[in-house]
Structure 1
């Protein structure tokens, strides 16, 4: 049974009760036709009344109701429904509370009536495809379910990346090519935008381009394109070439690729694709509080206090608060000290801000374009919406068909001294951007070889690789040939391959070799974000949401070491690193734990189940050891939303 908790406001505590149904966050609340309805045990701090009914979600029919019941201050009242569950499908228990001296308020609870023996073979108990080939979701008793991730990537998902016409062509030349490439980009940046927001592409012909500085794209509609990335499985940068730039250049002669060799001894990002942070504005004057007591994960609508302030098509921020009580509930105000004496920062209250577009307004109910990735709950601070403007963001920008090599030399200990270009591309304060067909060698920063910034949205990174050229120094057991641990050398530093801290990013069909965190997300990332059909080979440690309550991510058919866990006192107090994440048909080693007030799902995983240091209870594990249908959650959700055309446009 669920522990009695305050709902609606501080005056009421409600406990949903049933002998067989799961009454836990993150576990499907399922009844079989013929079962008794759940009961509500209500304790109120004020006198008043409560009226409860059960509504069939698909038909809108009231299938059960209880007579109005009086509430006495401090006394428990148990509300029961007559009869048994008859109609299959999802149901909502709606309770209206009318307490003396307070405005009426409602709260909702959920269950699904289904005979699990009639579920399709080889499916998950959390979501499955029905006879019409569409996903059906089984929510928990508060309505939380697997979110819809289909709105990630270029164009909001299911939109083909355009082939941008070439406007300027650059040939390789001896010496540093940084300024030559930048001048070409600047030239295209001055061209007018066409009707599709495109200016044109800079084409780098096949050959070798030495880059000693950094290159920037700061205008919409500009693409940097090469003529090929070469063999994506081959490392051109071989330490056996004695770290000699001239030998490396000779080895690349005749390569069917556009190769950028990042030279020099300063750590930097080679390509920056970014708009202006200063011009992004949140219009707090056009705001409204969310009225619902609880808005579950996976929902895309909610009630607001002032719907008249908004219009369909408005871009808004949905702000979810986490107050001090919530920080205490999840235990992040009492992270234990580290054994090595390292500094721990206890968490303090914070907000998560999700960008959405309003698609419908009906009375006080607003519908947005994609799922909420974290529940909004009044007792933890509630939520609100603001209008949002982004005139400084750029769009229709990208890089494609190149190979980049970070040239490096060993230090006196014979390992990488890290004083070289360590990051390749960052897309920030931009939307509808892309990276495709790009292979990187030895970019090993903690900021990510490929990175989406916090101001990014609708970015696709596809068919790309981050290769670390140090097999010579790594024997697969955490030690170099001299017997030193990674922490005693620089080998373990950095190595973040694909690193997302923006919203609505899609990384598909990508590869990470010898990466430390191959497919990873930063702190308080607001999701959704998706890694699809990606492979991490010889990983040094986990692909993961890395720290501090990143929410709403999907690892879909990813082969790697993956963790969705409480990192507790790792780092400076990373704690519950990710919430409301899904590992779907993954392979390799997997940790999935359940954060308080949220859930993480492991569905159809093949490989080792790791305990993750036993720092939290298991999340929702289903079909461990056997993949489920559909093969891909993301692809099925995209098909449900856009049909076959949406799949073809993204290569599926």
Structure 2
């Protein structure tokens, strides 16, 4: 591969031979696993089993929906004095904890004045809505608030939450997950029963390993073999939607749940024990220090600065940790939605050995965010513990003088993102650690190293999972023949939004998209076969083939389905049974896609977001038979169909229903072709608005009910391809000269067609309105009115067969205009005026 250099094998500390690739730095590649579609939305490639890179955007305070809060009003200020300050600060914390919670979710702030505070014990924030705030971190100016831990107990200096609280499941039994496999990244799955469950309930989604899974991952071969039940993933989730026995949750599954490997269950929380899980807590603008002076050998002292357990919506902002042997921040059991922001750890001390210097430690929390943090002289600076369930994110962090690697440390942490992390002095690894420790084995699964930089990388795939190394710069090391999933090594990948996301952070791109409105559910179908037919089971089976590859459920009326294809293979999609979606969107610049609907393939109802073609030449086709309300595609209300650029959309499916749906608008500069071939007639009722581009009819009745109105805006064209127009009783309003200002707003391409007489009319708006007949004959047998003038283009013949009243005169640029009566050339201020630039005018005999 260009840019790679093979170096001689080396011997690693674990006494295995490694093959090493030196990866230089370059910029600007596109990942094959996450990239932007033509519409600018993120598109995810999935594996054949449905696993994909998860959405990490819901981590951290407020589930990512909100920025970190402003500091609540100060209620109590504590000043620095000599001696132990534990009791004075704790009393202040308790006084704020006794206050009522305000509308912003907080009670108030304890403010520490500048100075040093000796802490012989532990500061405990055990109530919601409390913030502990210092005056800064600048020790050189004297403006900092510094907590100096004294005493000999190994502890967290600040404890948030409770070490005794935990989920209470009393009154609620476990319910089995019914799907044979729930893939990585999924946010929905089927359960045996949803009785007793409602939107907003918190549940535990559990998967527990069995012996088959242990054997599949070769963990039975360890000196200390893993045992059934050792490895569990407990996903703390909130139900967001229920459809029958399918439930939707607020964050993705990060380790596949498979029946053959133990299956899974859900169980509803009945609150928390021991006072519950607290929320809305903050610690900021503080320096924490273990001992008054740095001591490399003394470990009988405070080990960590801030620990969080059984707490959610926690922010730890702009702290500095000094001399701690274990962690600057620690997210422990039942911690959730925790953000550490702009923290720094300096001068870590203690023996450089196991169980030391885990600087930013997601020990057992989930949905944790560590952003813009720095560390020096640590060991495992951005790290997770055993059985950790994601998603969790380390983003824009820097570790210098590292004494060991960054990455999942042991025993199957899943769904962790290392995004724009830089490690100097060691590696970033997601690997099989084998017998290290007491049998660490596979340390991480379904985790991602994205646009990172390190001295080296060991990223390997477990047999039942995937780990991705994407866009990262450093030395790639392969160990024991185990490899990971690599993409764009040595070249940082771009997500194309350098103004708002200059580091091309995956997390930041996902977060921005989720906070925006109208995010699509994208069906990525680029590497699959040429045809999908559901057979029995309809959308369910169809989604097992297609939908599970994007970790989604079958589409619903709230779903925007995007067929996003990067290859050139023609594909046909057949849903199987009737279904409703919010929109259908195509993004396939080099592949021709066909969505076959109606009849045996399933009627499709399209909701308010309509149909969009971002690229390529795409088709929606229907099955023959039936008409009207039993059309192949039913339109559920007013909507817009957009065909962008030079794209094309051919719809030869029948459109329904027979009740009025409002307005159907065509936008975009591309071409929409309506044929209604599958049933002969479109019977739907709607007012057409052709705002941009070309709309082509190959069937006179493709525009629907005869009373439908249609308006062609200036710059748009209605083309008749060898046919007439069947809107005998509707009004056709024309404006302008058509696409590119020529050819006509109404343009007949060939053959013999007519606008038959009826109760409808043709209206020419102000200015010149083009009617083109490229070849053949077009007869307009209904009245033409309005203040505009008629401009005839093309070499064919235009027959004016009615008594017309348009007042702007007639201009002939080419071909023939035949007036079948004296009144055909209109009356009014320009009555009978004909300007002949070219061509022939045929007038009736006297």
- TM-score, with normalisation over the residues of structure 1? 0.70
Partner of 2:331: 452
Instruction: Tell whether 2:361 aligns with 1:499.
Output: yes
Residues 355, 147 of structure 1: alpha-carbon distance in 2 compared, 3 angstrom cutoff: same
Name the structure 1 match of 2:404.
541
Contiguous gaps of at least 5 residues in structure 1: 1-119, 231-235, 237-251, 338-343, 471-488, 647-652
Pick the aligned partner of 1:159 from 57, 66, 78: 66
Partner of 1:650: none
The whole-number CA distance in structure 2 between the counterparts of 1:205 and 1:417 is 30
Distance 1:450 1:291, change over 3 A: same
Instruction: Give the secondary structure class of the aligned counterpart of 1:389.
Output: coil
Task: Summarize the Cα distance change of 1:382–1:469 in structure 2 as closer, same or farther, 3 Å threshold.
Answer: closer
Alignment of structure 1 residues 248-647 onto 2, 5 Å = 254-275=141-162, 277-278=164-165, 280-283=167-170, 285-335=172-222, 337=223, 344=224, 346-349=226-229, 350-391=231-272, 392-407=276-291, 415-445=296-326, 448-468=327-347, 490-492=351-353, 494-500=356-362, 501-560=364-423, 561-588=427-454, 589-611=456-478, 614-615=479-480, 617-630=482-495, 631-643=504-516
Instruction: Look up the SS of the partner of 1:260 in the other structure.
Output: strand
Q: Counterpart in 2 of 1:210?
A: 118
Deviations 1:603-639 (CA, angstroms, capped at 9, x unpaired): 001111123xx24621101000000012111111111
Pick closer, same or farther for the CA change 1:354–1:558 going to 2, 3 Å.
Answer: same
- Contact 1:565 1:576 (C-alpha < 8 Å) held by counterparts: yes
Aligned equivalent of 1:224: 132
User: Which among 87, 94, 98 is matched to residue 179 of structure 1?
Assistant: 87
Aligned-residue offset at 1:316: 1.0
- Tell me whether 325-334 or 461-470 shows the greater mean CA deviation: 461-470
4+ residue stretches of structure 1 with deviation over 3 A?
275-279, 344-348, 408-411
Q: CA deviation at 1:363?
A: 1.8
RMSD: 2.1
Distance 1:193 1:139, change over 3 A: same
Structure 1 residue 160, shift from structure 2 partner: 1.8
Change (3 A) 1:311 1:511: same
Q: Contact between 2:352 and 2:403, CA under 8 Å: does it hold in 1?
A: no
Q: CA deviation at 1:266?
A: 3.2
Q: Assess if the C-alpha contact under 8 Å between 1:321 and 1:352 holds in 2.
A: yes
What is the CA distance between 1:315 and its match in structure 2?
A: 1.0
Aligned-partner Cα distance in 1 for 2:171–2:462: 31
- C-alpha distance in structure 2 between counterparts of 1:359 and 1:346, whole Å: 35
Mark the CA change 1:491 to 1:296 in structure 2 (over 3 Å): closer, same or farther. closer
1:476: which partner in 2?
none
For residues 439-469 of structure 1, the C-alpha deviation after alignment (integer angstroms, 9 at most, x for no partner) is 1111112xx2310111111000010011125
The residue that corresponds to 1:67 in the other structure is none
Asked which structure has the greater CA Rg, the reply is 2
Larger displacement relative to structure 2 (254-263 or 393-402): 254-263
Aligned partners of 2:458 and 2:195: how far apart in 1?
Answer: 45
Q: Secondary structure at the match of 1:327?
A: helix
- Residues 308 and 331, structure 2, Cα contact 8 Å, conserved in 1: yes
Maintained 8 Å contact 2:325/2:348: no
Q: Deviations over 1:218-257 (max 9, x none)?
A: 1111111001012xxxxx7xxxxxxxxxxxxxxx6x4221
Q: Is the 8 A contact 1:605 1:623 kept in 2?
A: yes
Task: Kindly state the Cα deviation for residue 304 of structure 1 after the two structures are TM-superposed.
Answer: 1.3
1:355 is paired with a residue of what secondary structure?
Answer: strand
Does the C-alpha gap of structure 1 residues 284 and 625 become closer, same or farther in structure 2, counting only changes over 3 Å?
Answer: farther
* SS of equivalent residue, structure 2 residue 221: coil
> Whole-Å Cα distance in 1 between the matches of residues 194 and 348 of structure 2?
56
Distance 2:469 2:157 in 1: 37
Residues 636 and 211 of structure 1, relative CA distance in 2, 3 Å threshold: same
Which of 145, 160, 181 is the aligned partner of 2:52?
Answer: 145
1:191 aligns with 2:72: no
Question: Any conservation in 1 of the 2:148–2:292 contact (CA below 8 Å)?
Answer: no
Q: CA deviation at 1:258?
A: 0.9
Distance 1:272 1:549, change over 3 A: same
Distance 2:74 2:91 in 1: 15
Tell me, in whole angstroms, the C-alpha distance in 1 between the residues paired with 2:121 and 2:165.
25
TM-score (norm 2): 0.54
DSSP-derived class of the 2:66 partner? coil
Q: Once the two structures are superposed, what CA deviation does each residue of 1:171-215 show, in whole Å capped at 9, x if it has no partner? A: 100111111111111111111112333111100011111222211
Is 2:286–2:319's contact at 8 Å kept on the other side of the alignment?
A: yes
Would the aligned equivalents of 1:283 and 1:387 in 2 still touch at CA under 8 Å? no
Query: CA offset at residue 422 of structure 1?
Result: 1.8
Question: 2:171·2:270 contact (CA, 8 Å) conserved in 1?
Answer: no
Q: For residues 36-185 of structure 1, what are the structure 2 equivalents within 5 Å?
A: 122-162=29-69, 163-185=71-93
CA contact (8 A) 1:444 1:468 kept: no
SS of the residue 2:146 aligns to = strand
Q: 1:351/1:495 Cα in 2 relative to 1: closer, same or farther (>3 Å)?
A: closer
Cα 1:557/1:279, change in 2 over 3 Å: closer
Distance change (3 Å), C-alpha of 1:184 and 1:121: closer
Deviations 1:256-305 (A, max 9, x none): 21111222333322111113644521257344211111111011111111
| Stretch deviating more after TM superposition (156-165 or 570-579) | 156-165
Aligned residues: 474
Q: State the distance in 1 between where 2:398 and 2:227 align.
A: 33
Measured at CA, do residues 602 and 203 of structure 1 come closer, stay the same or move farther in structure 2, by a change above 3 Å? same
The 2-side partners of 1:410 and 1:509 are apart by: 25
The residue aligned with 2:670 is none
8 Å contact from structure 1 (residues 514, 537) kept in 2: yes
Contact persistence 2:166–2:310 (CA under 8 A): no
Local SS of the residue matching 2:135 = coil
Q: 1:537-594: CA deviations, max 9, x gaps?
A: 1100011111111111000000013110000000000000100010000001221000
Cα distance in 2 for partners of 1:136, 1:260 equals: 47
Q: Aligned pair in 2 of structure 1 residues 266, 387: CA closer, same or farther (>3 Å)?
A: closer
Q: Contact 1:409–1:416 at 8 Å: present in 2 too?
A: no
